[in-house]
């Protein structure tokens, strides 16, 4: 048994340990049930649970949230519009977000998939120095997409 101020009490019968915890108005908590004999500690269990929840909240604050931004194109997207979309992608990647580039085909445009692949290849070539292609161009229904992520610094 371990006391409230981390003092070692050695092996103590359970009734004596419970009486000691009650006299200090604290709880007897089993810390290591698999040890022989099991290890128990005298502590304020409510305070312990509160501190654990605070640690979890702090850990969540420090987590990096990965956001996937999306840019949609069409096979007939003009050069200037494509450059504008590339500027948006630059901004997304500089912010540390991933970007999904989608080429949406409508009607008979699907017969000219190579136009969409060319657009995605141009974008991939544009970002080869600052980004990594996570998902190569892939068809999903009537859209062709790829995912790019910023390179690790």
- For 39-57, write each residue's pLDDT tens digit: 899 999 999 899 999 999 9
Residue ranges making up the domain that contains 27: 14-61
Asked if 134 and 81 sit in the same domain, the reply is yes
Residues whose CB falls within 8 Å of the CB of residue 122, separated by 6 or more in sequence, listed in order: 82
Q: What is the mean pLDDT of the chain?
A: 90
Whether residue 137 sits in one domain with residue 82: yes
Q: pTM of the prediction? A: 0.59
pLDDT band at 96 (very low <50, low <70, confident <90, very high): confident
Neighbours of 42 (CB within 10 A): 22
- Examine the domain organization and report whether 72 and 133 are in the same domain: yes
Residue 103 pLDDT: 95
Coil/strand/helix, residue 96: coil
pLDDT of 53 reads: 94
The total domain count for the chain is 2
On whether both 74 and 48 belong to a single domain, the answer is: no
Residue 82's pLDDT is 92
């Amino acid at each position: 048994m371990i006391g409230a101020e981390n003092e070692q009490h050695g092996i103590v019968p359970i009734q004596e340990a419970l009486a000691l915890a009650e006299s200090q108005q604290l709880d007897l908590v089993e810390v290591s049930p698999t040890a022989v004999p099991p290890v128990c500690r005298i502590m304020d269990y409510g305070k312990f649970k509160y501190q654990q929840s605070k640690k979890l909240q702090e850990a969540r604050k420090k987590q990096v949230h990965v956001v996937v931004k999306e840019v949609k194109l069409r096979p007939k997207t003009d050069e200037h519009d494509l450059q504008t979309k590339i500027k948006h992608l630059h901004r997304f990647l500089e912010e540390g977000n991933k970007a999904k580039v989608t080429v949406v085909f409508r009607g008979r445009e699907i017969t000219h998939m190579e136009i969409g692949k060319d657009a995605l290849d141009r974008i991939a070539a544009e970002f080869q120095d600052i980004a990594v292609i996570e998902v190569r161009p892939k068809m999903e229904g009537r859209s062709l997409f790829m995912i790019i992520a910023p390179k690790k610094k």
